[in-house]
Structure 1
């Protein structure tokens, strides 16, 4: 049975459309493009339903044949979301007050998808965490209400089944999957007390003794909490608005690890600077962190928070695992030039290195074979459009917004886990491609007088660190050892690029033919006479010094009188060396 073809939803100033996914990306045959300006759109979690608001009403249709399921007269809706089993559609519109209604209308509404009946209307003034969180089986749902977490069971929102009351609870994250549900809660520190994150398992809530794990820390104005797919551990990125040391414009970040078995740790990072991105592998056994002052490092850690593989340094600030977890994209978007590094995670081998300049959006297709990059407004109001890529670097489809048009959003249709099996990784681009956009090699500036000489590492303001396998049994090099290794490699390359004095002169060459000297890099053949070997070694040393002087002279350096005399003796020394060998 052939795998399904994912849809790509496109929203912009020209309306809303559904495209049948890669590689053709043609218009969905049953879905007619809505030319009205769309405020928002969303897919259901299994991808069977699609909903959007066009400023007049909300429509819910089936993605298979675009048949209408229900419509809602809610023209001001700004956000939409389906519950995991498609029973409820959640809508949010900005909170407002009127003279007739001084307390304002309930702006968070929960609707029955099939019947269109209003289940519950709630107040949600802030847009942060506007949508309730559900467990995968919809048995538990939770939302934050003024320093409390309210838990509901079986979609009964008329009665609160349980509460978690903690002073100044400002954020929470419900675990993915079904029962038993777990929740991570964050309480910011005050009056010198540290901030903390605690893990609880529903319905046992409240008090430090009931917590599965507890991690306290300072320097946290806000946090980002990410569960792995198995709901066995959570990563907490703690951030401050201002770095008091003045080292970073982005504030200061630390990364903490909490496991449901009670283990906690601070993830030790090998380079100072901001933490740009943290991504769990779909396998739930490792995670990738992009961090450090530019050029940033990227490192994969295991569940013991030990580094497994270091990708070295480069212009990157984000990491994206494929849905199957077999590929990892390290990218530099935003204020960077859009370089993408595609890595085979099992072999830790780079597959491709395409470039998507000015991209403001990146997402993996559920098939794990394709990605989409887009330049969207209002982040960038020029050159709006999107590209669909194969992970090998080939551009399969490209669309650009016309003059006066804007692109606002692109979104892949989701699919249940296991819909697309993992395929063998291909290192060659497919045949049906529009072209590839590989990142051009970057080199440090070199003055004209030095461009004919082999490059050396000393000419760079900073040295990019190479990838390094840190798994057990692999050789781990220290920073100084890596530096010495690069010096040796540069010296070796320099010797290989030197012209061989013994090579035959080209036709018309003005150089005087002479016996070929033996370079010092060649193996020394003993003559059996120690005195003779010593003389040969001294002659080779003098000839090597003359070669270096000639290179300096060619680079534009003015030689002194004694140095010029040395150069003039080259033929004499070559003759002596030849006679000694004979």
Structure 2
């Protein structure tokens, strides 16, 4: 999550380069070098743009590269190259010593990207047209990095999905053009190798990793038809029969699609602009799972409210969701969409896995107070609980041991600056801008996977001159007239839920407080008593008419799920009757009929459980 590019930057100074100290290990990516590389931190603001030494040195005044105020910056995927635009030129330099690789006269550029293998530089500037040129200038340019030659100039009016997407080996590149997907092979942009066109493709996501490449496409619903996401494997793009997986759903004005690292599954967060029930300011969100093996599911969340964040673990086998009205819940799910661990409730709206996947940070930024919870994922044990108020940015250092938090403009124009932390809560470096200057962006230099090995997790704060920022215990306000009297137990506005291990075979009792454990045992005893008094469920559940009386299980949520399943099964029965009478069914109706066996199985499991 990077800071937004500020489009109203002040006049930019001329570019000046100088090398202060060359990092001997920066730029070295081989495992033969026993000394780990030192990650760089790119800092962009009204004061200029610099590449600074990162942890453990955290040297503020020793820069690899420095330039005047920049409109935009980016690193290559392997971190060996750094590019920026100062309002006069677009420059590409080596991260190791700041030496210039390429320089282009593109003064209006506000967005930059480098292809995965460092062969192509992409520049984008706002589209404009004049009387002399009513068609306008092609505002998306692809450049050969080493030679600086223009490969292709294209039109891209909207900033959304502005950049083409490459496979990791650059054998495939995808671009969205007028509700079509255009596929290019081996960086030949003069020939469209393949196209995907169906209704109106609104968004897409290309899979990471090695070939064969897969692409997830989203088509919004219209005229009562549902929206849907389909997965295809290139080059088999021939309609729904060629799809690896298909998931349709209603209530979706937009979606966010996220592949896991191994490209075996996609998470789709579907959102509406407005919640028609009036329950949420954020609209409505649902989370869907699609696997390349054809499996799909709606991820069941245990609390109503917005979905704030969804992140894959780097191991590609789990994902974390932060959701629900405040205080929000956070839950880790496996690939079956079953909950593995519930972190309880707290003031949080974001989640961040470390690059190695062994640490998870839950945080509350924006309109929350910046509380961070650092968790050991393997033991599900909390490591630290630092606080970074007014932060607008958080990102992990590639070494998996340090993070940076920053307060950036234009989100917040006061108290701009950044802090570098150790995950145990120690502040290693703090830098605040001076006077009326602004900080616009901070960004870590990336590294290839495996550069930094996973290290044992520490639970004691590492030494630091700046100390830690563990929040002090809070006390309820008491009027002066009552402060001499004994304190009385306070009533909380929200009942906080403790963490709970939900893995099969693990009771999770060691994660619960005494009071929570006592309440849990009471609930289990009550549930067991109801189970004993309930008659045996039928061996083969069948759809039940809504006019029949529904036996209650004592669990309102479970009754609701059973009722919804029976409602769906009844609708399927009606569709089958229509099909038997010779009526031609629509595609989504046929898909509903195919789900009958799955729904019957779910209903049987619920009735056996309760």
TM-score by length of 2: 0.77
Q: 1:74 to 1:20 in 2, by over 3 A?
A: same
Task: Show the 5 A alignment for 1:178-193.
Answer: 178-193=210-225
Task: Show the 5 A alignment for 1:390-539.
Answer: 390-445=422-477, 456=489, 459-475=491-507, 485=517
Residue aligned with 2:66, SS: coil
Alignment partner of 1:31 is 2:48: no
User: What is aligned with 2:603?
Assistant: none
Alignment partner of 1:357 is 2:389: yes
Match of 1:149 among 174, 181, 191: 181
Task: Show the 5 A alignment for 1:232-311.
Answer: 232-311=264-343
Q: Write out per-residue CA displacement over residues 313-333 of structure 1, whole angstroms, 9 at most, x where no aligned residue.
A: 000000000000000000000
Distance 1:128 1:25 in 2: 35
Q: 1:482 to 1:318 in 2, by over 3 A?
A: farther
Q: 1:427 to 1:433 in 2, by over 3 A?
A: farther
Alignment partner of 1:173 is 2:242: no
Residue aligned with 1:151, SS: strand
Q: 1:467 to 1:443 in 2, by over 3 A?
A: farther
Residue aligned with 2:309, SS: strand
Q: 1:208 to 1:357 in 2, by over 3 A?
A: same
Q: Write out per-residue CA displacement over residues 188-214 of structure 1, whole angstroms, 9 at most, x where no aligned residue.
A: 000000000000000000311000000
Distance 2:113 2:488 in 1: 56
Retained in 2: the 8 A contact 1:30–1:65?
A: no
- Note the residue ranges of structure 1 that are not aligned, 5 or more in a row: 490-582
Distance 1:385 1:29 in 2: 18
Q: 1:488 to 1:265 in 2, by over 3 A?
A: closer
The structural deviation recorded for 1:302 is: 0.3
User: What is aligned with 1:506?
Assistant: none
The structural deviation recorded for 1:166 is: 1.2
Q: 1:241 to 1:452 in 2, by over 3 A?
A: same
Q: 1:297 to 1:443 in 2, by over 3 A?
A: farther
Retained in 2: the 8 A contact 1:446–1:459?
A: no
Residue aligned with 1:74, SS: coil
Match of 1:108 among 140, 158, 164: 140
User: What is aligned with 1:96?
Assistant: 128
User: What is aligned with 2:573?
Assistant: none
User: What is aligned with 2:168?
Assistant: 136
Retained in 2: the 8 A contact 1:18–1:27?
A: no
Residue aligned with 2:268, SS: strand
Retained in 1: the 8 A contact 2:52–2:63?
A: no
Retained in 1: the 8 A contact 2:267–2:289?
A: yes
The structural deviation recorded for 1:443 is: 4.3
Retained in 2: the 8 A contact 1:327–1:344?
A: yes
Alignment partner of 1:15 is 2:48: yes
Distance 1:414 1:58 in 2: 20
Retained in 2: the 8 A contact 1:444–1:460?
A: no
Q: Write out per-residue CA displacement over residues 116-156 of structure 1, whole angstroms, 9 at most, x where no aligned residue.
A: 00000000000001000000000000010001000000000
User: What is aligned with 2:351?
Assistant: 319
User: What is aligned with 2:246?
Assistant: 214
Max Rg structure: 1
The structural deviation recorded for 1:178 is: 1.8
Residue aligned with 1:408, SS: strand
User: What is aligned with 1:550?
Assistant: none
Distance 1:407 1:462 in 2: 37
Q: 1:486 to 1:354 in 2, by over 3 A?
A: farther
Q: 1:240 to 1:217 in 2, by over 3 A?
A: same
Distance 2:56 2:508 in 1: 42
The structural deviation recorded for 1:369 is: 0.3
Q: Write out per-residue CA displacement over residues 58-105 of structure 1, whole angstroms, 9 at most, x where no aligned residue.
A: 111101111110100001100000000000000000000012211000
User: What is aligned with 2:108?
Assistant: 76
- Note the residue ranges of structure 2 that are not aligned, 5 or more in a row: 1-33, 522-610
Task: Let me know the Cα RMSD of the aligned residues.
Answer: 1.9
Residue aligned with 1:26, SS: coil
Q: 1:45 to 1:350 in 2, by over 3 A?
A: same
Distance 1:451 1:425 in 2: 45
Retained in 2: the 8 A contact 1:17–1:27?
A: no
Distance 1:305 1:256 in 2: 9
Residue aligned with 2:241, SS: helix
Match of 1:5 among 38, 48, 61: 38
Q: 1:15 to 1:313 in 2, by over 3 A?
A: same
Q: 1:69 to 1:27 in 2, by over 3 A?
A: farther
Q: Write out per-residue CA displacement over residues 342-383 of structure 1, whole angstroms, 9 at most, x where no aligned residue.
A: 000000000000000000000000000000000000000000
Distance 2:317 2:293 in 1: 15
Retained in 1: the 8 A contact 2:498–2:516?
A: no
Number of aligned positions between the proteins = 484
Q: Provide runs of 4+ in structure 1 moved above 6 Å.
A: 481-484, 486-489
The structural deviation recorded for 1:439 is: 2.0
Alignment partner of 1:117 is 2:149: yes
Q: 1:32 to 1:217 in 2, by over 3 A?
A: closer
Task: Show the 5 A alignment for 1:566-581.
Answer: none
Retained in 1: the 8 A contact 2:140–2:153?
A: yes
Q: 1:301 to 1:382 in 2, by over 3 A?
A: same
Retained in 1: the 8 A contact 2:64–2:96?
A: no
